[in-house]
Amino acid sequence: MQECDVVVVGAGPSGSTAARYAAVRGARVLLHEEHAEVGEPVQCAGLFSENALKACDIEQSERCIVHPIRGAFIYSPGGRELCIDSHRDIAYVVERCLLDRLMADRALDSGAEIILKSHVTGVGEYDGGARVVKFNNGGEIQYVRSKVVIGADGAQSTVGRLAGLDAPGRMLSGVQFEVAYDVRDENFVEVFLGSEFAPGFFAWSVPLTDSIARVGICCYSTTQGEAVKNLRNLIETHPVVSGRCRDSVLGLNMGGVPLEPPGKTVGDGIMIVGDAAGHVKPTSGGGVYMGATCAKIAGEVAADAVGKGDSSAKALAGYEQGWRNAVGRELSIGLKLHDIFRNLSDRELDKAIEALGDESLMRLIVEYGDMDHPSILIRKLLMHRSSPAVFKSLVKAWLRDKGYRTTS
């Protein structure tokens, strides 16, 4: 049977990063991807913060970058509008398929081997310091013995479960059409709020050109079909979107958006990372920044454990500690904010958007707004004298509900 140090399952941004960082540290790495090509099918709006690009080690001049974004138009359920203009580039629209391929190429250049059309179907017990991984490679069943297996197999991950780890706590649905669209400004995204169109979360348009946009929603829905229905409703009846969308739908993509990492992401000879581990920002549903950040730690810890000849759960525990130190606090604050936001009524959203239009609050948003660390801005907003009363009282009510003491 073939032997290796680290098997990584899934060549998305998390898998390619983990494979690359493990290979750079000297591990023999096999990266399995079930599709014939890396990067397909795309399940992404392709909106990346500067930090997300850095986490992926991608430069702003690379060919996967479409154009920069400097702000957002936010539309409340009752038709109020808020324009946030940072007056500088704060994010980028990317071609996700190209980005995934660039990242996989870099894993390859670092010494990892990529096996395409290889669907991992089994992960054996940890025995003698390794696990046997079963995979279907273009119709042929094969096995490889590996000291560490890294499950970077996305939202519908099975690798962690096969090795006895729990799934993330909740799953939202993301659905998106690429459509002909009268784009308001190529450097601004649009965000649409309200229970009618995106219950519990939000809808968006991300401009690709001045006449094409990715229009999508991420929401709590029982089925993907229900999420598609919500998106159609947005496109056909939303006062802003319906006026901008032209007839032609150029593409559709959809997927799960997992939130809330499980209590354990490490076991004997096993780690999970990225969407598979719920490394997704609860305030936006974006997963690439956190996935790549955590994957670097996973790759390095895996290689170091192999180097020391011990890949037990204890030897891999540095990964769990490392990623929780890096993003754990932001994830748990993000989840609290997500739940507060999710419980706002349409009326409260209208009031909050109106209040955030205040000039001094807007200055705070522009100065402290950070797509990857929203807790910094939220703290500033809550401390500010003009902060929306509705927002403050909701936070207090939520904290009381969770058993925290608050001042009156």
Ligand X SMILES: Cc1cc2nc3c(=O)[nH]c(=O)nc-3n(C[C@H](O)[C@H](O)[C@H](O)COP(=O)(O)OP(=O)(O)OC[C@H]3O[C@@H](n4cnc5c(N)ncnc54)[C@H](O)[C@@H]3O)c2cc1C
Contact footprint for ligand X (CB under 6 A)? 9-15, 32-35, 43-48, 52, 119-120, 152-154, 158, 174, 176, 216, 253-255, 257, 274-275, 280, 285-288, 291
What is the token pair recorded at 392?
């403050």
CA distance linking residue 5 with residue 15, whole number of Å: 15
Which sign does the torsion angle of CA 172, 177, 181, 185 carry? positive
What is the token pair recorded at 176?
């998106």
Q: Which is nearer to ligand X, 178 or 348 (CB)?
A: 178
Residue 5's CB is within 10 A of a number of other CB atoms, namely: 22
Q: How far is the CB of 204 from ligand X (least distance, A)?
A: 8
What is the token pair recorded at 298?
């996973």
Q: Which is nearer to ligand X, 4 or 257 (CB)?
A: 257
Q: How far is the CB of 287 from ligand X (least distance, A)?
A: 2
Q: How far is the CB of 47 from ligand X (least distance, A)?
A: 4
Q: Which is nearer to ligand X, 194 or 282 (CB)?
A: 282
The DSSP symbol for 167 reads: P
Q: How far is the CB of 387 from ligand X (least distance, A)?
A: 28
Residue number of the CB closest to ligand X reads: 287
Q: How far is the CB of 139 from ligand X (least distance, A)?
A: 14
Q: Which is nearer to ligand X, 53 or 394 (CB)?
A: 53
Q: How far is the CB of 200 from ligand X (least distance, A)?
A: 15
Beta-strand runs (E) in 168-288: 170-181, 188-192, 202-207, 212-219, 245-259, 266-267, 270-272
Q: What are the φ/ψ torsions at residue 215 (nearest 5 degrees)?
A: -110, 125
Contact call for residues 290 and 316 (beta carbons, < 8 A): no
Cβ-based neighbours of 88, under 8 Å, separated by 6 or more: 70
Give the rounded distance of the alpha carbon of 187 from its chain centre.
22
Q: Which is nearer to ligand X, 259 or 352 (CB)?
A: 259
- At 392, which amino acid appears? K
Q: Which is nearer to ligand X, 162 or 315 (CB)?
A: 162
Q: Which is nearer to ligand X, 144 or 390 (CB)?
A: 144
Q: How far is the CB of 175 from ligand X (least distance, A)?
A: 6
CA distance linking residue 148 with residue 146, whole number of Å: 5
Q: Which is nearer to ligand X, 298 or 344 (CB)?
A: 298
Task: Please classify residue 2 by burial: count the beta carbons closer than 10 Å to its beta carbon, then call 0-12 exposed, 13-18 middle and 19+ buried.
Answer: exposed
- At 69, which amino acid appears? I
Residue 363's CB is within 10 A of a number of other CB atoms, namely: 11
Q: How far is the CB of 237 from ligand X (least distance, A)?
A: 20
